Every structure is written in structure tokens, then in C-alpha cells.
Amino acid sequence: MQRRGQGKNGARPGIAPPPDTKSFRLGWHDCTAPLLVNRRRVTIERIHMPFLIAAKTYLDFIAHVRRLSAHSVAAYRSDLSCFAARYPGAPAELTMGMLTEHVIWLTRERGLAAASVRRHAASLRSFVRYAVEQKLCEPALAAWRPQLKRPRRLPRPVSRVEMRQLVATSGRAGDLVVTAILLMAGTGLRISELCALRVGDVEPDARSILILGKGARERVVYVANANLRDRLRSLMARKSDGGAPIDSSSPLFYARDHRSLSAAALRRQIRAHAKRTGLVRPVSPHMFRHSAATWLIEEGIDIRTVQRLLGHASIATTEIYTHVADRLLEQSLKRVDVLRRVAG
């Protein structure tokens, strides 16, 4: 397997090249791009130039130094644009009151969910810490940390019954989708990681796959299921439109034109496939990742092993799956009720 994460000129695949410092763009988008703020369309032209430059350099930093994914950079760009449209001053003019008021506005005026508000606040905290390090704003702002309620939501895995229903009927049109479902449920891959896979990332025997995850962290996942290994080898052995074998840089999961299959396209295909199989509740790709973790913990796999498989930076993120397994155990005990026959 070849090492992932570097492209031409040392850039990470999927990340745009650094923008021209002489062009006034916020995160590689034209400064006149429209935004929707408080139900009114505004443009980034209203942002004071110092903040525009600070935001742009910060986005460059997280993309090319911290090497965050393109999806994460886009989320930071969106959150900073929302704040900057309401507070067009320079970073030196920022106060804790401004930051806190913005969080309150997101909750009361925009009505965002708690998880979305937490993301906006995290984006602002990260930018402010960067601005403090660069001496762009008051050092005291580095201590800003709003006390936000953390929503307690357990992951929703796909049940084994639902999984059998999804993979039982595929047909030629659904083979690629079923392979993607099996791979996510068998290894815990994120959909972005799956769509970024290249043929060269998979060992010839399809027993292991090199993954480039969040934060440019590499890990290896292992494919234990023989049927899934056969499916992966079939994808690797396919021919190009011209009849020639594909090379190691070709996408493993591909669209009709043999280009990389996008995450959005795969989500649509999974929803359509689930509907064809008669599945009642909607399913998302991340639910298969939840299933992988939950099933492993139910089978007694050490939580540290599950953490490595999923690529979690913190064990606390993985521990939530122990609660899911406990809940399923409780439901099973209630369903069996071993004392019912002897104690009434």
C-alpha cells in the first residue's frame, strides 16, 4: 500500500491550493459571495478588511498546517462568515460580550439545535485562540468558553435484522452500494474515508486497507469477512472504459464515469437502496459505523481496539458505544424475562 496524504507540491488531495494573498477572499470563496444572515442576504463585502485577512489566513492555517479535511475547513468557513457578517470590525475590536451575544443569537433568533450552536462556538474559540497567538486580539479572549448544554444522544446503529435485509437483495445495480454498506459496517469507516479510497490503498488479498482519517491520521483496518474480501477484489480487478486494467490511483468506489463517487451521491444511493428493500426507517451511512462499534463491543472486543479501528482521537468518544451496548442488553433481558415463569 502506498502512503496517503500527499499530492503535487505537497498538497493534500481534496484541499485547494493556498489562495493568492493579494486577493480578498474568505476561505477561497469570492468576497462578494452571498450569505443568509437573519433571513436577509448580505455579502462578505461588508466585512472590515483586517477581519477578512485574519479569517483567510486562519483557514489557510487549518487546511495546510493542521491539515483538516476539506469538509471541516468548509464548516469553519461557514461559521466564521456567519459571525463576521454580524460583527464587521477588526479582530482587535472583539470582546467576550460580542462572542457570547453571537452564541445567544444563534440559539434564540436562528433557532439552531444545541449541537449546531456548539459547533459555531467551537469554531469561534479556535479562531480566537489563533488570533491571540498571532497578536491580533486581546489575550484575555483566549479564556472565552461558553457554558453550553451538551446534548445527550446515543448513536443509532442499524440492527442485525435491518442489516440482513439491506444486503440480502442487491442485483447488479446495487452491488456497489451493498459493498459500501458491508465495508462501513465491517470496518467502521466514515463515508468520507470510504469515498476517498484508491485501489492502491487495499492490499492485493483485500485483507487490510490503509485509511487516511480525520486530522490526516493514518490507520489500517482489517477485512475479516471472506465475502467482503471477494467483493473488494472484484472492484480492484475491474477494467477501464478502454478495456485496460485500472491503476493503483483509481478510485475504489466509482461513479458511472469511473471518477470518484462523492459522499452525497453515495448517501442518495443508500437511501434509494434501503427504500427498494422495504426498510421502514431511514438509514444514513454513519449508522453503519455505529453498528460496527456496537457489535464489536457486544462481542467483548476491548474498547481500546475499537478506538483504533474507528480512528477516534479520544477514548471518551468511543465510550459512548458501551452505553448503546448496555441499552441493547437491557432490552434483551426485558424481552426474555427469565423470572417470568418461576416468579410470575
Q: What is the DSSP letter of 269?
A: H
pLDDT mean over 123-152: 88
In the chain, % of residues over pLDDT 90: 33
- Asked whether residue 241 carries a pLDDT value surpassing 80, the answer given is no
pLDDT mean over 52-56: 85
**Most confident among 41-50, 214-223, 334-343 (mean pLDDT):** 214-223
Whose CA is closest to 298, among 264, 324, 263, 317? 324
- pLDDT at residue 9 in the model: 46
pLDDT mean over 15-42: 38
Catalytic residue list contains 8: no
In the set 86, 125, 214, 276, the catalytic residue is 214
- Asked whether residue 66 carries a pLDDT value surpassing 80, the answer given is yes
The set of cell numbers assigned to 278 is 422495504
Catalytic residue list contains 321: yes
- Asked whether residue 10 carries a pLDDT value surpassing 50, the answer given is no
Catalytic residue list contains 214: yes
Return the sign of the alpha-carbon dihedral for residues 321, 323, 329, 334.
negative
Q: Give residue 83's pLDDT band: very low, low, confident or very high (50, 70, 90).
A: very high
Whose CA is closest to 33, among 52, 18, 14? 52
Catalytic residue list contains 312: yes
- Asked whether residue 334 carries a pLDDT value surpassing 70, the answer given is no
pLDDT mean over 260-279: 91
Whose CA is closest to 195, among 187, 205, 184, 208? 184
Q: What is the pLDDT of residues 89-108, one digit of tens each?
A: 888 889 999 999 999 999 99
In the set 120, 190, 231, 290, the catalytic residue is 190
End-to-end CA distance of the chain: 61
Whose CA is closest to 235, among 225, 248, 222, 219? 248
In the set 56, 120, 289, 290, the catalytic residue is 289
CB distance 47 to 85 below 8 Å: yes
- pLDDT at residue 120 in the model: 94
Residue with more model confidence, 26 or 292: 292
Catalytic residue list contains 48: no
For 41, 75, 196, 306, 322, the CA distances from 298, given in Å and listed in that order, are 50, 34, 29, 11, 8
Give the position of cell 468506489: 253
Residue with more model confidence, 172 or 179: 179
- Asked whether residue 335 carries a pLDDT value surpassing 90, the answer given is no
Three-state DSSP at 33 gives: coil
- Asked whether residue 289 carries a pLDDT value surpassing 80, the answer given is yes
In the set 125, 267, 276, 286, the catalytic residue is 286
Q: Give residue 330's pLDDT band: very low, low, confident or very high (50, 70, 90).
A: low
What is the average pLDDT score of the chain? 78
- pLDDT at residue 174 in the model: 63
Residue with more model confidence, 284 or 150: 284
Catalytic residue list contains 56: no
